[in-house]
Amino acid sequence: MTSNAAQLHDNSAWTRAQPALSVLIPFLRDDPASLLTLLDREGAALNGQVELVLLDDGTADMALTARLTAQIDALALPARLITLAANEGRSIGRNRLASVARGASLLFLDSDMRPDHDHFLQTWARLTGEQAPAVAFGGFSLLQAPDDARFAVHRQMAARSDCLSHDQRALQPEKHVFTSNLLVRRDVFDAEAFDPGFSGWGWEDVEWAMRVSRRFEVVHLDNPATHMGLDTVETLAAKYEQSAPNFARVVARHPDFVAAYPSYRVAKALKAVPGLKGIRPLFKRAARLSALPVPLRAFSLRLYRAALYAEAI
């Protein structure tokens, strides 16, 4: 294959299906097999209404491709696997998935998510059939997530800021939108795709939601899935380092929205602190200290993120 070539593999259910909802699952060096197994429990009940489209965004693992191909062939749900030789990135990859999906609504679902109940896809399919919302976010939880000590800081941070009820999320509908469990009507996505100018990790989904919310209603409901991909402090810190330029891009484009975000207000306050660049590593060091209480470590990591953002804006 050339660097931008795509290999396609469809199962036997794909050709005859006429789906109303396309579930779009990008992955890179992850194995989505467990997610596929859980989703396929609903395959018979959905009777071709929902299709799966997976994108391997440059993993380059032939053994994984072979395993997934065999699994897809055995699914009741219509499914297509797209395998890329080279990584395209989060925004471009999701745009590619949308371009080949056949449903009138698109459900973006990360490969490390796990439905929290056995009517997950049926709930989404019913919503699209009865209401066809422009944008809807189902939320996510930590119900099935690992409780290893090395993930304690991430768990504490996610529980506080991300795993919120639909009523809480609806207070700032554009802020609490992540591509982990996100329904988008096709015409909305055709009008507002993900910005390919974002690179690395973070903020491309929230920036997209900011743009969309200026033109369409963003609704929230409780149809959660568990975010299984908890990270260590080191991994989270590295992601925050990647995300700083993306945060600056969001600030430049949407100052009205960002002004209400605590992360922005703290970053602005830290920007005035003399010698911040020398202080910033201390926040990360404190977050890594297992002897400290987890809430204090999480607070230190939030300060580390804010200090990074302060230098970027």
The span from the CA of 8 to the CA of 160, in Å, is 40
**Position 4 confidence tier, pLDDT thresholds 50, 70, 90:** low
Q: Residue 209: which H helix or E strand, with range?
A: helix 204-213
Over 90: is that where the pLDDT of 201 sits? Answer: no
* 3 pLDDT above the threshold of 80: no
For 170-173, which contacts have Cβ atoms below 8 Å and span 24 or more sequence positions?
Answer: 170/219, 170/220, 172/260, 173/209, 173/213, 173/218, 173/219, 173/220
Task: Kindly report the pTM of this predicted structure.
Answer: 0.89
- Structural contact between residues 144 and 65, judged by C-beta atoms closer than 8 angstroms: no
Which pLDDT score, from 0 to 100, does residue 2 have? 42
- At 233, the amino acid letter reads V
- Give the residue extent of every domain in the chain: 6-230, 232-313
Q: Give CB contacts under 8 A, 24+ apart, made by 98-103.
A: 98/24, 98/186, 98/189, 98/193, 100/53, 101/22, 101/24, 101/51, 101/53, 101/186, 102/17, 102/18, 102/19, 102/22, 102/51, 103/19, 103/20, 103/21, 103/22, 103/50, 103/51, 103/128, 103/186
Q: Is the pLDDT of residue 90 over 80?
A: no
> Domain 6-230: what homologous superfamily?
Spore Coat Polysaccharide Biosynthesis Protein SpsA; Chain A (3.90.550.10)
Residue 1 pLDDT: 36
Across all residues in the chain, what is the average pLDDT? 93
Q: Which two tokens stand for residue 258?
A: 């960002």
- Identify the residue whose tokens are 């060096």: 29
